[in-house]
A = this chain, B = another copy of it.
Amino acid sequence: MALLDFILGRPLASSEDQQERIGSFAGVSVFGLDALSSAAYGPEAALTILIPLGLAGVGLGIPITVAVSAILVIVYFSYRQTIAAYPQGAGSYTVAKQNLGKHAGLGAAVALMVDYTLNVAVGISAGIGALVSAFPALQPHTLVLCLTVLALLAFMNLRGLREAGLAFMPPTYLFIGCLMLVCLIGIVKTILSGGHPQPLAELPSPPPPQTTISLWLFLKAFAAGCTAMTGVEAVSNGVPVFKEPAVKSARLTLTFIVAILIILLLGIAYLVSAYQITATEPGSANYQSILSLVTAAVAGRGVFYYVTMVAVLLVLCLSANTSFADFPRVCRTVSIDGFLPSSFGVRGRRLVYTQGIVLLTALAGILLFVFNGVTDRLIPLFAVGAFLAFTLSQAGMVMHWLKSQEPNAYLSAIINGVGAFATGVTLLIVIVTKFAEGAWIVLIVLPLLFLIMQAIEWHYRDVAEEIAISGPISLREPSPLIAVVPLDHLNSVSARALQTAFAVTKKVHVVHVEHEDSEEDFAGDWNKYVKPAIKQSRLPAPEVVVLKSPYRQVVAPTLDYIWKLERENPDNSIVVLIPQLVESHWYYSFLHNQRAAILRTVLLLKGRNRILIMDVPWHLNCQLKVRGRHRMEPWDRAPAWLDR
């Protein structure tokens, strides 16, 4: 399949799998993309909640951001602990499972799977949101653009992104650089203008205030802003990838990421307040993202504006890519424990976990489609999974430290305990405030996924128990098989089936169903054509059974005979030889009756362990002979796509 090779790249051997170690600088782009890109939609989400306050909402930006940053700092210290405790790398699933038990682990895994799926959808739709802000003409095509990016990401990931981390560095640092510059210029201008800078681009007029500040609105905005924290856990998954000393490098990377993120969040909040920027309604015709408004206000709609927007777009789309790396890995990890089919653990032709990528693409595509490609509607769904995984992971760490003998374990337990408490409270706030807006969906989906995956595990366990061998297997001198050969007509195919039956056993039953719509004289033909051959070859004479079928059925009487034979011979296995005409073209199969296929299927499904089915194929090549084409040859080599 050269075509597949061309599209997906040549197959990679298992031995070609080697990963380069990375330093902290590269680590920021490899593991930080998800977290940093949150700066693009976290503030946006919070400010959107504040739209009903009108201009009064602008002032709330800073306190909310401070609260979010505080949680972020707590989470930062918690994950520093996790990195130290699990230098081999451990995601929320592993930490929760090892310290809180299998079910907590499964809960974290399910939360992460939902989180990653939403991250893909949110990342892509925020990226396209930035693009649409820069080019409002694209606004009607939002959904198509989102799905195109999704398809592109899926395709790239199926090919395998081995050098992805390094390739992601330029856009990551371009993004950081641009936004830092915006903050710097904006702050300088604000100070120079005495606190009231003049925007360089026209800002949307603030919406009329419809309500006043309340604790409820503040909490809602805070919950929305917390989405800015998602992705912080990524570093702790990948400690072994870092250059030695790995723990130190990883911690440094985490520090960089969190520091940059906090600077960006506070900077944006300050500028929003200084420039009196209010959010625009997402999905509306005059929608512009907060980053776009801030950048335009600070630097005008010049080249720098467009460079910044491109960087935002790239980073948001690439942050979706983080999920493409992590989701299949989570699937694989839980599949090892039996919560998902083991095929999630099999690497495809390009050494990536194909099934996980395909599943993620399908789920994210459905989300984008249902929500019509608009980020904001997805955000209520988003934070629940992320914070549930945070909380379980942190709680797991508390247990870890309590059981640990290390010095200072007690202190570490407190740090993680504070983290668990903070993220747990935030989780509750997010659930309560966002409940009506969609968080309830996640609260249905999470337990449902949990139950399904638990059921899968039960099933695998039951199967494994049933077929497991404990110690040496037992083999014995086999008792003879009984062969049943159902024959409609006497022809070369049936002759071959008969010959094969004799190769398998000496006890052969030939079953023929006679009904009045068939005009053949089977018994007569048998005596004429088969009996002499049997005599001559000195084979044991088969038992010929002619069944009457008053209702013109063929399969049912044959089956009844086989069940009867099974009952009467409790010690023998029965092998049913099914003569099969194999056509050279699939469409010819419509021309032959499907009794063989029906018989086979029913025997397999409804038969018991003592009934074996043997297909005796007869490959037709008359077409080829007659029309002078090549005879069909089996492949010299079986093609690789068979296994994909």
Contact = CB atoms under 8 A, between A and B. Distances in A.
Interface of A: 11-15, 341-343, 345-349, 456, 459-460, 462-463, 465-469, 471-481, 490-493, 495-496, 498-500, 502-504, 515-517, 528-530, 532-534, 536-539, 550-557, 559-560, 563, 566, 573, 575, 580-582, 588, 590-593, 595, 598, 600, 602, 604-609, 611-623, 625-626, 632, 634-640, 642-643
A233 to B, nearest CB: 26
Nearest to A462: B622
A197 B66 CA distance: 100
17 contacts: A15-B516, A341-B591, A341-B593, A456-B591, A473-B495, A473-B529, A478-B503, A480-B503, A481-B504, A500-B612, A556-B640, A575-B614, A580-B604, A604-B615, A606-B634, A607-B619, A608-B619
Number of copies: 2
Contact of A617 (B468, B490, B609, B632): B609
B620 A463 contact: yes
B529 A471 contact: yes
B495 A643 contact: no
Given A342-B593, A554-B643, A477 B619 contact: no
A515 B534 CA distance: 48
B477 A539 contact: yes
A552 B642 contact: no
Nearest to A349: B551
B492 A468 contact: yes
Nearest to A456: B591
A137 B179 CA distance: 71
A500 B637 CA distance: 29
A534 B13 contact: no
A475 B614 contact: no
B462 A626 contact: yes
A36 B281 CA distance: 72
A537 B477 contact: yes
Contact of A14 (B460, B533, B552, B614): B552
Given A343-B593, A503-B573, A504-B575, 18 more contacts: A14-B517, A15-B550, A341-B590, A466-B492, A469-B529, A472-B528, A472-B530, A475-B537, A481-B504, A551-B640, A551-B643, A553-B640, A556-B638, A563-B635, A582-B604, A600-B615, A604-B617, A608-B619
